[in-house]
Amino acid sequence: MQTMSHMDFIVGAYAAAIVIVGGLIAWVMLDYRAQLRTLAALEKRGFTRRSVPAQPDPVVERAKEGA
């Protein structure tokens, strides 16, 4: 069996995979930056994240200090 007859297909498959994975990485990075800009704009307008309390709970703060 001659491996060289399939070399074009193998190289093409690897090249296509690299292009596709590279494109996905670029897409995720661009989307991440867009999401950060959107969050910054919302926070500038006064919206807060649900994961961050607007005002710290005094009971929780005392518990942290006691730990």
Domain ranges of the chain: 4-66
Answer whether 54's CB lies under 8 Å from 48's CB: yes
Q: Would you state the pLDDT for residue 2?
A: 61
Q: DSSP E strands: which ranges in the chain?
A: none
The Cα–Cα gap between 52 and 60 comes to 13
Convert the pLDDT of each residue in 1-44 to its tens digit: 566 788 999 999 999 999 999 999 999 999 999 999 999 999 89
pTM exceeding the 0.85 threshold for the entire prediction: no
